Amino acid sequence: MNKLSQITMLIDPPNQTQTRWQYLIPSLSCRAFAPESQMGPLLGLARAIRGPVRVTYFQTFRSYQLDGCNQDVQAIARSLAKDASNVVVMTGAGVSTPSGIPDFRTPGSGIYDNLKQYRLPYPEAIFDISYFRQSPDAFNTWAKEFFPGLRYQPNLAHFFIKLLHDKGKLVRLYTQNIDGLEVLTGLPHEQVVHAHGSFTGASCVACGRVADLEDYKANILLNQNPRCSCSEKAPIKPDIVFFGENLPERFQMFQEDTAFSDFLICMGTSLEVYPFAGIADAVPRKVPRLLINRTLVGSFGSREEDCILLGDLVEQVIQLCRALGWEQDLFDLKNAYDKKNKLGNKELP
Ligand code: OAD
């Protein structure tokens, strides 16, 4: 079935209530923005162009308020310490900016504002499967810079999640990140769902043949565009989820995890990309949801139990750990990691 493979919701600033929708139409290499009132006609247009449209995780949020939210770090810590034993954590690129990896959408520093040299039809094309099949160069250049395990190290935000695990509170981490920094902290693989995939494998986009990961990595680091030896000589792509591709099956665990959760922590994401963003709304309404982020995102602020720590993630995490009496534990984890790994930036060839 033809379908619009990725639908992204953008929410206007907190004092406005109108919801805008962004439609990515990869086969047409374009995207469209529309207020909610025009959604019907736009979907009609998309159907006319591409056939049946399947919309999953369709949701609208009418209003949210910061004022009514719990922003008291002591009270949040008490609730986390006392009432939470099944914590679901969801993260995005913001947790890795303190490690030196830019996020996607922060104006100025975000990746999407810094892709001019690639002459992409629209910024997200760098992660668009149709575009990659024709022009893998932009993605491969990005992959050379951010190939996991070469330059970047986990920061205190990542160690906070490991600490939640060590304290027996973490049910699962759902991350959109493909940098692999959360597992470098020692968090067991079964505790992590890489919702947008990872660099742990690579395969041909045409015939699906699995590529040798070391060869793939070596080619990327040598600025070559790895291609399969099949008849199409198609590009090889790591196992990360591009726009237009399905999420891994493990992602579906969020339904059960959220149903039985008693606390949700959302950190460093704009919550603009679905279906991942839907995790925040899948927890029952009585479950406290804590957002730690520079800006208010998603539907946070719309529920009575919402808690919000706005500002720099690492600073907020330190404050929260201090209020929990976990600050020393947090630094001990990071210091032990640094010592074990004798840290220093590795140079690329
Ligand atoms: P975004 O760049 O959309 O959002 C990052 C969020 O983190 C923003 O709200 C920032 O304000 C916040 N942030 C960044 N640094 C921070 C800091 N030091 N302290 C506090 N907050 C901070 O990144 P994602 O939400 O992860 O998909 O983007 C989602 C998906 O869009 C990605 O997985 C990627 C992208 O297209 C694919 O590639 C398929």
Alpha carbons 201 and 217: distance in angstroms, whole number: 10
Query: DSSP secondary-structure letter at 316?
Result: H
**pTM, 2 dp:** 0.84
Tens of pLDDT, residue by residue over 92-150, are 999 999 999 999 989 999 998 888 888 888 888 899 888 999 999 999 999 998 888 88
Distance of alpha carbon 259 from alpha carbon 249, whole angstroms: 18
User: In angstroms, rounded to a whole number, what is the distance separating the alpha carbons of residues 168 and 80?
Assistant: 12
| Residue 210 CA, ligand 1 centroid: distance in Å | 30
Atom 29 in ligand 1: which residue has the minimum CA distance? 273
Closest atom, ligand 1, to C-alpha of 311 = 20
Q: What's the mean pLDDT in 184-206?
A: 95
Q: Does residue 14 carry a pLDDT above 50? A: no
Q: Which DSSP helix (H) or strand (E) runs through 40?
A: helix 39-50
pLDDT at 61: 44
Count the neighbouring beta carbons within 10 Å of the beta carbon of residue 256.
Answer: 11
For ligand 1, mutation pick of 96, 104, 271 (most atoms within 8 Å of CB): 104
CA of 294 to the centre of ligand 1 (A): 10
CA-derived radius of gyration, the chain: 21
196 has catalytic annotation? yes
How many alpha carbons fall within 13 Å on the CB side of residue 267? 26
Q: Which residue has the tokens 């004798």?
A: 342
Per DSSP, the residues of 208-224 read: -PBPPHHHHHHHHHTT-
What are the tens digits of pLDDT across the range 290-302?
A: 999 999 888 898 8
Residues in the chain: 349
Residue 13 pLDDT > 80, yes or no?
no
Instruction: Provide mean pLDDT across the span 68-97.
Output: 96
